[in-house]
Amino acid sequence: MNLRTLCLSVVFSNVMVQPLLAQNPPLGFVTKLGVDVDVRSGSRILIDELAANPVILPDLPGPVAGGSVVPQIQFRGGNVQVNVPSTDYTQIFTRFRPFVHAIQSEVSTAAFGHDIVVTYNDSTGIHVSPNPIGPGLVVDQVLLSSFSVSNDGGKSWTKGRMPPAANATATFGDPSVGVDRHGVFYFANLGETPTGHGAIVVNKSTDGGNTWASGVVVQQDDGSDKEWLAVGPDPVDKNRDNVYVTWTSFQNTGCQLRFGSSTDGGVTWSAKTIYAPAADPNPVNPQNCLQFSNVVVDGITGSLYIPFLHFSNSDKDFIQVLISDDAGASFHFGTFNVPGAPNPTVMSVLQPGELTECGGFNFRLTIHGTASAGPGIGGLPRYINASRMTLQPAFAARNGVLYMAWSESAGTSFGAPANTNVKFMRSDDSGMTWTAPILVNPTVASDTQHVLPSLAIDPDPNGVHVSYYTQHSNSSVDLDMANSHDRGDTFPANRTVRVTTTSFSLPPSNIPLSNAFPFSATNFDRQIAVCYALGEYQSVTTDNGTVYAGWGDMRNLITEPVNALDPISGQTHSKPDVFFQKLKAQ
């Protein structure tokens, strides 16, 4: 972190906060109301921490449940765990806190016929060993990208690790998977080049997701984060499917939106920056940082749509959508035409989550449990069971009709405690005009947070499915799915189903190691970023009239080893795994 000085008071829900401000915020941080907020993904944090601290030194001692659902929404089997519990493991070294490797979360799903691929971040691919050239420990393996595959429609599953780029050694997660019209699967993640530089990497499977070729580097980019992949028809040669990837590149001048494309099935790639916004002296206007892009291909026209979040330095941020009708050769912005907005291409949104301290200077938006560690630096709250929030617009397109869902705080100021809802809107003219936003989730008094939505549409143009996490007033969490049968005009409560069969609690992801400056903290899985639990997205997809959901789920428990250096020694708590559910929604 850069040197910071106390210089400003900000009020959050009647709590006086004394944030520490940087003259030059580090890469991957945006200034909101004077507070430097971390917008990096959990994977990007891991990359940065490994680069900054290659040697680990010894530790010092010290919808609704019970509701009536229409018969057109049918479950096919029950919740199925797709990761393998036996691969979780713990490493113990003298004078160190235990290294518990047991987090599988952040899910992307694709399906083609009976072949289903679920991809996710997997901390069991991280390994620590004694430093061969000095004191301490070193991380000698990072294979954070894993997949599970079913070739029988979700009845049975096999797990594997995604191979790195050719001649490289590491994968860093942020999974995104897609499939073309011939059943060829493609997978994008953060990776590295053979020389150890950061990169966007894409793998390919031609056997239903069972085996994957070594990754191909889309672009070397040491500032890369939050990539997303889409596959669909070329707008001119409709017999050919193109593969596209977008991502954020953190640069000294701000955040760039980058774009990669392949017209030969992922063998070769071209890449470029498609948007690099400038700073604006007016804090309420869009600034020079963006994040959470989500590239989508219209399966009929081949047009590209790239929604993303564009930050301001004030309470509200903005959703924008870049559009290309020529396979990414050129782009223009869709228009929202919101009265009072800084320009016609932006729609203002209030990000979900409460601004909390996730260890020291890491300020993040989270949902959380009730266990508090007291205020930290500057007086921001610290919650032991927390999961960071993002606002990545969920999106789909068919024949010029666009569907978008997002999670938004019902409060009035950035980071203040408030309920959160999922909203939806549709454009019938390729993004030039939009319907008014409507609520997706039912209003239930005991349900306080509805976050991290994913969206899929059916071949039947009436079918729209939005899955999202619901947190209840007792802090437990479920995955719910809202289903529209009128193109998203309505999401009736009796077409909303609870996907999870068991509610779960967030795990201890922000455990204090110090209650004094610098207020350091750790996840129970200490190599994973603090406040990382649910991951930054879950996934819903459709194929042949069937809906498939994959999500991070914490119904399973783990017991910590007894160790004097472990602040939660011997405790039993929830842990993230990956679950899957198959549904029919007519």
pLDDT of the residue at 65: 46
Nearest CA to 451 among 500, 382, 405, 502? 405
Q: Which residues of 468-479 are buried (b: 16+ CB within 10 A; e: fewer)?
A: bbbbeeebbbbb
Task: Catalogue the E-assigned strands of 221-360.
Answer: 224-233, 241-251, 254-262, 270-275, 290-291, 296-297, 304-310, 317-324, 332-333, 347-349, 354-357
pTM of this structure: 0.94
Judge contact between 425 and 435, C-beta under 8 A. Answer: yes
Q: In angstroms, rounded to a whole number, what is the distance separating the alpha carbons of residues 202 and 177?
A: 9
Helix (H) or strand (E) holding 48: helix 42-52
According to the model, what pLDDT value does residue 61 have? 65
Domains of the chain: 4-368+387-585 (2.120.10.10)
Which pLDDT score is estimated for 361?
A: 86
Residue 10 pLDDT: 32
The whole-number pLDDT of residue 460 equals 85
Q: What is the DSSP string of 66-101?
A: T----TTEEEEEEEEE-S-GGG-EEE--TTS--EEE
As separate numbers, helices (DSSP H) first and strands (DSSP E) second, the chain gives 1, 48
Whether residue 518 is preceded by a cis peptide bond, meaning omega within 30 degrees of 0, is yes
pLDDT in the model for residue 15? 35
Distance CA 197, CA 110 (A): 29
Are 229 and 243 contacting, i.e. CB atoms less than 8 angstroms apart? Answer: yes
Compute the distance between CA of residue 541 and CA of residue 471 in angstroms, rounded to an integer.
Answer: 22
- Averaged over successive runs of 10 residues, the pLDDT of the chain (586 residues) comes to 28 34 69 90 90 85 60 91 96 96 97 97 98 94 98 96 97 98 98 97 98 98 97 96 98 96 98 97 97 97 98 97 98 96 97 95 95 89 97 97 98 96 98 97 96 95 95 97 96 96 97 91 96 97 94 98 95 98 90
- Per the listing, tokens 């997205």 go with 537
Among 399, 359, 376, CA closest to 528: 359
Among 229, 321, 342, CA closest to 275: 321
d(CA 380, CA 17): 6
Residues ≥6 apart with Cβ < 8 Å to 407: 352, 389, 391, 420, 421, 422, 423, 450, 451, 452, 453, 468
pLDDT at 124: 98
Q: Which residues pair with 217 in a beta bridge?
A: 201
- Nearest CA to 409 out of 355, 358, 357, 456 is that of 355
Helix (H) or strand (E) holding 198: strand 198-205
> Counting Cβ atoms within 10 Å, is residue 343 exposed (0-12), middle (13-18) or buried (19+)?
middle
What Cα–Cα distance (Å) separates residue 260 from each residue in 23, 188, 250? 33, 11, 16
Q: What is the pLDDT of residue 13?
A: 34
Copy the structure tokens of residue 349.
Answer: 């949104």
Q: Residue 494: which residues within 8 A CB-CB, separation 6 or more?
A: 67, 68, 69, 70
Res 67: pLDDT: 57
Q: Distance between CA atoms of 55 and 137, rounded to whole angstroms? A: 6
The two structure tokens encoding residue 88: 């979780």
To which H or E segment does residue 161 belong? strand 158-161
What is the 3-class SS of 410-454, one letter each residue?
Answer: CCCCCCCCCCEEEEEEEECCCCCCCCCCEECCCCCCCEEEEEEEE
